[in-house]
Amino acid sequence: MKSVLITGCSSGFGMLAAVTLAKNGFRVFASMRNLAKRDRLDEALAKAGAQAELLALDVTSAESIDAALRAVIERAGRVDALVNNAGAAIGGFVEDVSLDEYRRLMDTNFFGTVALTKAVLPHMRRQRSGRIVNLSSIGGRVANPGLSAYVASKFAVEGFSESLALEADLFGVRVVLIEPGTFKTEIFESNKEMAAASRDPASPYFAVTQALEKKVDALVARHGADPQQVADVILTALTVPKPRLRYLVGTDAKLQAAIHTIGGFAVQNWVTGKLLGMSEIRPLLAERTDQASA
Q: Give the Cα separation of 32 and 290 in Å (integer).
A: 46
Burial string for 84-99 (b: 16+ CB within 10 Å, else e) reads bbbbbbbbbbeebbee
What DSSP designation does 80 have?
Answer: -
CB 95 within 8 A of CB 140: no
For 165, residues 6+ apart whose C-beta sits below 8 A from its C-beta are 174, 175, 245
Which alpha helices (H) appear in the chain, and where do they start and end? 12-23, 39-48, 62-76, 99-106, 112-127, 148-168, 206-223, 228-239, 251-276, 278-293
For residues 294 and 289, what is the distance between their CA atoms, to the nearest angstrom?
Answer: 9
Asked whether 124 and 171 are in contact (CB, 8 A), the reply is yes
What single string gives the DSSP state of each residue in 263-282? Answer: HHHHHHHHHHHHHHTHHHHH
In angstroms, rounded to a whole number, what is the distance separating the alpha carbons of residues 182 and 108?
21
3-state secondary structure of 174: strand
E strand or H helix at 178? strand 173-180
Q: Which of 102, 150, 205, 247 is catalytic?
A: 150
To the query of whether residue 150 is one of the catalytic residues in this protein, the response is: yes
Q: Does residue 57 contact residue 84 with C-beta atoms inside 8 Å?
A: no
Tell me 242's DSSP state.
S
Catalytic residue positions, numbered: 150
